[in-house]
């Protein structure tokens, strides 16, 4: 498991680069994103092209957050997303 965190610049890019390298080496990848929200974005399309059996992105969370502003609701939302990962995805 690799966790990318930061102030909102390039965490997804770093995670995607690592994921693509892993898929290229024959590994299966599950990428869990906690802050993107529920709308559709290009990373999902790219992951689909590789096949769900090789690379999946599991969007979790409730949208973007403001730097320095954290609420107990958002923190709880992130932790609640973890049980949604099936044993096959672990």
Digitized pLDDT (tens) for each residue of the chain, 90 residues in all: 888 887 777 888 899 999 999 999 999 999 888 765 566 778 888 888 888 899 988 877 666 556 666 666 656 655 555 555 555 555
pTM here is 0.64
Determine the pLDDT at residue 65.
58
- pLDDT at residue 7 in the model: 75
Q: What does the alpha-carbon distance between residue 80 and residue 74 come to, in Å, rounded to a whole number? A: 10
Nearest CA to 7 out of 51, 79, 68 is that of: 68
pLDDT of amino acid 77: 57
């Amino acid at each position: 498991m690799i966790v990318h965190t930061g102030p909102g610049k390039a965490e997804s890019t770093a995670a995607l680069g690592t994921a693509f390298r892993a898929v290229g080496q024959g590994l299966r990848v599950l990428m869990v994103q906690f802050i993107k929200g529920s709308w559709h974005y290009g990373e999902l399309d790219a992951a689909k092209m590789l096949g769900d059996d090789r690379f999946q992105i599991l969007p979790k969370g409730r949208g973007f957050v403001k730097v320095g502003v954290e609420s107990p609701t958002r923190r709880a939302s992130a932790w609640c997303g973890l049980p949604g990962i099936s044993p096959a995805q672990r």
